[in-house]
């Protein structure tokens, strides 16, 4: 008996990255979350397929950060599951994987099949060999710092029952809306739960807000009072740490900010209940720097 596949629905949700994309450029936000929707379908219009391809591209600095996060996730999972971790072997594996991704991207394989792609290659941006090498060296320094950090040692001491999901995408509900969260490292303690997030860029105030979102996620998902949630941002490779204050005042500020962001997103929709958007209500930014790093610059400006 044949079953008809139910079409995917473009459901409204909120995340820190979604908020930041709208703040940077409403038109980019529209193209990413609405204009590209369905571009994976065989029968999609060519312009929609193109937007979907561009949506999947990564900027090189974000690529470096993702490589570090992905490697740390694999390391923690290995530790959790009782496998030995060989730091030089891990670094070699990351290097080999990034080289393979670089070749895929440089050849623009993502244009003909599912493959990794960088914005810099799509737009033939001039990036010197020294700049690419510097990016890898930053990845290597970050991984070296993590291997030397107290957090890897702490992970090795964790009994199995204290582990919580490692960098897995989850959701909680806020005023009926789905909110996405993916804590990098979380574990139970005798007093509650500790949540740790790695950052490879410069410190930003929004880093703290992200951790407050994780605190709400911990409360709603792991049934732990907010007063028992410890949140820390760890910057790599410096290993500087920032403890994020979690109390009623900070959570009120975070939820008020999230509610305001959600309201703005929904106010731009032609039909908020159906999550239907029209391009005319999402203006282009006037920030030339934002345009220069946008993956949609060709269809948007052309």
Domain boundaries, the chain: 13-148, 158-261
Radius of gyration of the chain (CA): 21
Convert the pLDDT of each residue in 175-199 to its tens digit. Answer: 999 999 999 999 999 999 999 999 9
Separation between Cα atoms, residue 124 and residue 115, nearest integer Å: 17
CB 47 within 8 A of CB 299: yes
pTM: 0.94
CB environment 201-237: b (16+ within 10 A), e (fewer):
eeeeeebbbbbbbbbbbbbbbbebebebbbbebbbbb
From the DSSP assignment, how many helices (H) and strands (E) are in the chain? Answer: 12, 7
Lowest mean pLDDT among 6-10, 37-41, 242-246, 262-266: 6-10
Separation between Cα atoms, residue 125 and residue 135, nearest integer Å: 16
Separation between Cα atoms, residue 251 and residue 233, nearest integer Å: 17
Separation between Cα atoms, residue 121 and residue 202, nearest integer Å: 25
**Element (DSSP H or E) covering residue 170:** strand 170-174
Separation between Cα atoms, residue 287 and residue 148, nearest integer Å: 40
Average pLDDT of the residues of the chain: 96
Which residues make Cβ contacts (< 8 Å) with residue 238, sequence separation at least 6? Answer: 145
The confidence band for 3, taking pLDDT boundaries of 50, 70 and 90, is: low
Separation between Cα atoms, residue 84 and residue 224, nearest integer Å: 31
**Element (DSSP H or E) covering residue 276:** none
Q: Is the pLDDT of residue 4 over 90?
A: no
Q: Is the pLDDT of residue 174 over 50?
A: yes
Convert the pLDDT of each residue in 80-134 to its tens digit. Answer: 999 999 999 999 999 999 999 999 999 999 999 999 999 999 999 999 999 999 9
User: 274 — alpha (psi -120 to 50), left (phi > 0) or beta?
Assistant: alpha
């Amino acid at each position: 008996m044949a079953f008809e596949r139910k079409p995917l629905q473009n459901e409204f949700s909120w995340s820190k990255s979604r908020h930041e994309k709208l703040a940077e450029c409403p038109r980019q936000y529209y193209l990413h979350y609405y204009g590209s929707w369905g571009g994976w379908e065989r029968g999609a219009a060519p312009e929609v397929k193109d937007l979907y391809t561009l949506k999947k591209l990564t900027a090189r600095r974000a690529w470096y950060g993702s490589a570090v996060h992905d490697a740390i996730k694999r390391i923690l999972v290995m530790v959790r599951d009782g496998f030995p971790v060989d730091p030089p072997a891990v670094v070699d594996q990351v290097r080999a994987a990034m080289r393979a991704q670089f070749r895929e991207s440089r050849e623009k394989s993502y244009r003909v099949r599912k493959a990794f792609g960088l914005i810099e290659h799509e737009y033939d941006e001039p990036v010197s060999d020294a700049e690419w090498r510097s990016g890898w060296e930053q990845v290597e320094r970050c991984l070296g710092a993590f291997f030397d950090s107290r957090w890897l040692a702490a992970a090795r001491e964790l009994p199995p029952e204290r582990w919580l999901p490692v960098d897995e995408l989850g959701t909680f509900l806020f005023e009926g809306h789905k909110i996405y969260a993916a804590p990098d490292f979380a574990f139970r303690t005798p007093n509650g739960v500790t949540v740790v997030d790695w950052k490879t860029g410069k410190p930003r105030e929004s880093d703290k807000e992200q951790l407050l979102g994780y605190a709400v996620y911990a409360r709603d998902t792991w049934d732990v009072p907010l007063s028992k949630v410890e949140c820390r941002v760890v910057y790599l490779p410096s290993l500087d740490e920032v403890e994020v204050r979690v109390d009623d005042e900070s959570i009120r500020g975070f939820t008020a900010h999230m509610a305001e962001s959600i309201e703005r997103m929904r106010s731009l929709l032609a039909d908020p209940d159906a999550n239907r958007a029209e391009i005319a209500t999402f203006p282009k930014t006037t920030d030339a720097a934002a345009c220069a790093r946008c993956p949609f610059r060709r269809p948007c400006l052309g």
